[in-house]
């Protein structure tokens, strides 16, 4: 009996087996990479797709192979003995179809139940990643784009963390721009003693900022003062620094409010943090010969781009480009990140392409994209209003984000009350469930489609209890929990003593789907696509419904096994919810 491989997900295990088979089939092609995919047709669970391409390579050199199909047949014959596979067949021009063994599938699931879902976590080959997300600008508009960045970034961080990567969650807040000159000068003008007295109401920073912009456009003297204020601030003048830090503190409190609601953990390292590193970073870039002068500014020209990166403005100031270069340098050299991920709207793609390109030219990053350290821009589409235009607001955006969450919660609470839950549950239960469902609905709606597509914000759609919504999925989970509760059995005892089998076709389908969880998370990590997990979760829920429709659980002869399958499904669903930043509910 050959030693059974057990490390890795199903696909990786099959890759290991087919690797052996390919080596035996064509020993003179040692570098072949097994191409394994899950089956789309009904012939098997997975398939190996190497035969056709391989035949093209070896044509003429190995006369025993007359066509691709004969290569496929040999690959199948040469597969090592394994308890993992029940049967194999060759289809068409040499696809090797694999049917996995039910007993093996059942054993893997049972093992997960006793050892924990963490044993199904993919193992990525990197140690540390930085996810730069949310990153609103102080005193400027905090728009839904930042909400998207917060939701997507949090999930990206979570799937990497689950996969064994240390993640530094970075809030790259815009706390160092020219907006401060105008704002501070404006506030000094209107509230001369504001810095020293705490009771002056400057909470509505955005309104002040808008006024200060107007003032600066209308009044040349003010404009000049504002420009001087930036210089004073950046030069470390105490009064200006104090004003700046108070402004930042006000914004920080507002942002924190949103993060707490969303249950998002993030650490602020704003633009200002990197300021001290700018001179030496520029010196380094200059030594590499990357910086040239253009119209009084210092720039880095990027091949194929219309505009260069501006690293020192004509007035001597630094800007967004400069800070991002300094931050990238810091993240690579001080924080030693293997993978740096930037989550912003698709509109900033070009900015990041240019920054990454410069970093490659400077030798900070390897030229090949598949080598580490690596940088990736995770872009996303717009959130649209019902009118098809950018989703926007009348009043202050920060408040509105909170309002949005409030409304989602209120609506879901209302729906729960309509279903009579207020008489069944305590006020606290009602509230917590409404929150989980409401916030979950907003998040899931944001994550469920490929992030690059735009979507229309619509409460009715996101709160529907059918289709691809958090509500439907949370219901499915709660239903499974209720089946287990109603059995009256102690599931922990069953996990220890019971045996799980997958004899019914629908049990087998569900079981296979459960085992694919690990591959799915890995795929989501590789392409940084949370929607892959959403689709998986939805599919899982459908497979469960199919199983539950055709297989009696409580009171059946297979009760123990089926309860274990229910528990495994609920466990995987909960992990998916967690990765998506959604709080699971146990009754609904």
Residue 118 DSSP class:
G
Which one, 348 or 545, has the nearer CB to ligand ARG?
348
Q: Residues 279-285: contacts with CB within 8 Å, 24+ apart?
A: 281/325, 281/326, 281/329, 282/311, 282/312, 282/322, 284/329, 284/362, 285/311, 285/325, 285/358, 285/362
Min. distance of Cβ 145 from ligand ARG in angstroms?
7
Q: Which residues contact 449 (CB under 8 A, 6 or more apart)?
A: 455, 531
Collapsing DSSP states into helix, strand and coil, what is residue 385?
A: coil
Strand partners, 99: 87
Min. distance of Cβ 140 from ligand ARG in angstroms?
7
Min. distance of Cβ 172 from ligand ARG in angstroms?
4
Min. distance of Cβ 149 from ligand ARG in angstroms?
7
Q: Which residues contact 306 (CB under 8 A, 6 or more apart)?
A: none
Min. distance of Cβ 328 from ligand ARG in angstroms?
8
Binding to ligand ARG, residues 309-328 (CB under 6 A): 324, 327
Work out whether 507 is an interface residue with ligand ARG (CB under 6 A). Answer: no
Distance CA 349, CA 358 (A): 14
Which one, 122 or 136, has the nearer CB to ligand ARG?
136
Distance CA 581, CA 432 (A): 15
Work out whether 135 is an interface residue with ligand ARG (CB under 6 A). Answer: yes
Binding to ligand ARG, residues 33-92 (CB under 6 A): none
Min. distance of Cβ 32 from ligand ARG in angstroms?
41
Min. distance of Cβ 529 from ligand ARG in angstroms?
19
Tell which phi-psi region holds residue 363, choosing left (phi > 0), alpha (psi between -120 and 50) or beta.
left
Q: Which residues contact 313 (CB under 8 A, 6 or more apart)?
A: 297, 319
Strand partners, 167: 129
Q: Are strands 374-378 and 339-343 parallel, antiparallel or unpaired?
A: parallel
Which one, 141 or 407, has the nearer CB to ligand ARG?
141
Work out whether 254 is an interface residue with ligand ARG (CB under 6 A). Answer: no
Binding region for ligand ARG (CB under 6 A) out of 3-11, 29-37, 131-139, 382-390: 131-139
Min. distance of Cβ 132 from ligand ARG in angstroms?
5
Which one, 10 or 173, has the nearer CB to ligand ARG?
173
Instruction: Please identify which residue in 15, 45, 73, 132 interacts with ligand ARG, judged by CB under 6 A.
Output: 132
Min. distance of Cβ 334 from ligand ARG in angstroms?
15
Binding region for ligand ARG (CB under 6 A) out of 34-42, 65-73, 130-138, 421-429: 130-138
Work out whether 342 is an interface residue with ligand ARG (CB under 6 A). Answer: yes
Residue 13, Cβ neighbours under 10 Å: how many?
A: 22
Q: Output the CA torsion 318→321→325→327 (10° steps).
A: 80
Binding region for ligand ARG (CB under 6 A) out of 7-15, 67-75, 128-136, 523-531: 128-136
Instruction: Please identify which residue in 137, 206, 361, 569 interacts with ligand ARG, judged by CB under 6 A.
Output: 137
Work out whether 21 is an interface residue with ligand ARG (CB under 6 A). Answer: no
Min. distance of Cβ 324 from ligand ARG in angstroms?
5
Instruction: Please identify which residue in 44, 174, 308, 581 interacts with ligand ARG, judged by CB under 6 A.
Output: 174
Q: Which residues contact 244 (CB under 8 A, 6 or more apart)?
A: 175, 180, 184, 233
Binding region for ligand ARG (CB under 6 A) out of 47-55, 133-141, 244-252, 545-553: 133-141
Which one, 196 or 334, has the nearer CB to ligand ARG?
334
Distance CA 330, CA 323 (A): 10
Chain centroid offset of residue 512 CA: 24
Min. distance of Cβ 329 from ligand ARG in angstroms?
12
- Please work out the total of residues on this chain that contact ligand ARG, with binding judged by CB under 6 A: 10
Which one, 147 or 441, has the nearer CB to ligand ARG?
147
Residue 174, Cβ neighbours under 10 Å: how many?
A: 19
Min. distance of Cβ 580 from ligand ARG in angstroms?
22
| CA–CA distances in Å: residue 121 to residues 349, 381, 386 | 31, 29, 39
Instruction: Please identify which residue in 69, 148, 169, 172 interacts with ligand ARG, judged by CB under 6 A.
Output: 172
Q: Which residues contact 483 (CB under 8 A, 6 or more apart)?
A: 548, 553, 554, 563, 566
Instruction: Please identify which residue in 344, 361, 516, 541 interacts with ligand ARG, judged by CB under 6 A.
Output: 344
Distance CA 518, CA 315 (A): 53
Which one, 298 or 344, has the nearer CB to ligand ARG?
344
Q: Which residues contact 378 (CB under 8 A, 6 or more apart)?
A: 152, 153, 156, 341, 342, 343, 344, 451, 528
Shortest Cβ contact with ligand ARG: which residue?
A: 135
Which one, 137 or 361, has the nearer CB to ligand ARG?
137
Which one, 133 or 444, has the nearer CB to ligand ARG?
133
Min. distance of Cβ 15 from ligand ARG in angstroms?
36
Tell which phi-psi region holds residue 98, choosing left (phi > 0), alpha (psi between -120 and 50) or beta.
beta
Binding region for ligand ARG (CB under 6 A) out of 33-41, 135-143, 161-169, 239-247: 135-143
Residues that bind ligand ARG (CB under 6 A): 132, 135-137, 172, 174, 324, 327, 342, 344
């Amino acid at each position: 009996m050959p030693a059974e491989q057990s490390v890795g997900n199903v696909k990786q295990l099959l890759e290991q087996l087919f690797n052996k088979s390919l080596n035996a089939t064509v020993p003179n092609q040692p570098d072949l990479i097994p191409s394994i995919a899950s089956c789309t047709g009904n012939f098997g669970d997975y398939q190996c797709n190497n035969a056709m391409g391989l035949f093209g390579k070896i044509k003429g050199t190995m006369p025993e192979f007359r066509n691709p199909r004969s290569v496929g047949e040999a690959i199948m014959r040469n597969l090592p003995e394994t308890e993992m596979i029940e049967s194999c067949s060759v289809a068409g021009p040499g696809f090797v179809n694999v049917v996995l063994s039910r007993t093996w599938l059942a054993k893997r699931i049972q093992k997960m139940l006793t050892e924990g879902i963490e044993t199904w976590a993919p193992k990525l080959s990197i140690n540390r990643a930085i996810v730069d997300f949310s990153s609103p600008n102080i005193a400027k508009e905090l728009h839904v784009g930042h909400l998207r960045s917060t939701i997507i970034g949090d999930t990206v961080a979570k799937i990497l963390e689950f996969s064994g990567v240390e993640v530094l969650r970075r809030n790259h807040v815009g706390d160092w721009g020219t907006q401060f000159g105008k704002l501070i000068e404006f506030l000094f003008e209107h509230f001369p003693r504001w810095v020293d007295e705490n009771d002056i109401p400057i909470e509505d920073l955005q309104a002040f900022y808008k006024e200060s912009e107007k003032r600066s456009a209308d009044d040349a003297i003010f404009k000049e003062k504002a420009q001087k204020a930036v210089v004073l601030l950046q030069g470390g003048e105490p009064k200006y620094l104090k004003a700046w830090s108070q402004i930042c503190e006000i914004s920080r409190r507002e942002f924190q409010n949103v993060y707490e609601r969303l249950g998002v953990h993030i650490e602020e390292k704003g633009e200002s943090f990197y300021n001290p590193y700018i001179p030496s970073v520029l010196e380094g870039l200059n030594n590499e010969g990357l910086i040239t002068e253009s119209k009084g500014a210092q720039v880095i020209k990027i091949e194929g781009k219309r505009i260069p990166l501006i690293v020192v403005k004509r007035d001597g100031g630094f800007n967004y480009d400069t800070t991002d270069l300094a931050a990238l340098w810091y993240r690579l050299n001080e924080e030693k990140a293997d993978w740096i991920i930037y989550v912003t709207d698709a509109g900033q793609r070009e900015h990041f392409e240019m920054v990454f390109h410069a970093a490659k030219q400077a030798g900070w990053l390897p030229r090949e994209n598949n080598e580490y350290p690596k940088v990736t821009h995770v872009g996303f589409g717009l959130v649209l209003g019902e009118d098809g235009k950018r989703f926007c607001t009348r009043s202050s955006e920060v408040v509105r984000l909170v309002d949005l969450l409030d409304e989602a919660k209120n609506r879901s609470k209302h729906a729960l009350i309509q279903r009579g839950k207020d008489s069944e549950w305590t006020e606290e239960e009602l509230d917590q469930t409404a929150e989980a469902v409401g916030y979950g609905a907003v998040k899931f709606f944001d994550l469920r489609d490929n992030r690059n597509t735009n979507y229309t914000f619509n409460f009715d759609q996101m709160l529907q209890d059918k289709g691809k919504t958090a509500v439907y999925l949370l219901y499915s989970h709660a239903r499974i929990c209720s089946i287990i509760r109603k059995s009256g059995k102690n599931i922990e005892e069953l996990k220890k003593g019971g045996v799980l089998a997958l004899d019914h076709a629908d049990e087998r389908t569900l079981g296979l789907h459960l085992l694919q969880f690990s591959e799915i998370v890995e795929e989501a990590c590789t392409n940084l696509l949370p929607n892959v997990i959403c689709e998986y979760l939805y599919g899982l829920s459908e497979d469960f419904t199919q199983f539950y429709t055709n297989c009696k659980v409580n009171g059946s002869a297979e009760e123990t096994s089926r309860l274990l399958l229910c528990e495994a499904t609920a466990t995987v669903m909960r992990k998916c919810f967690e990765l998506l930043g959604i709080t699971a509910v146990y009754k609904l």
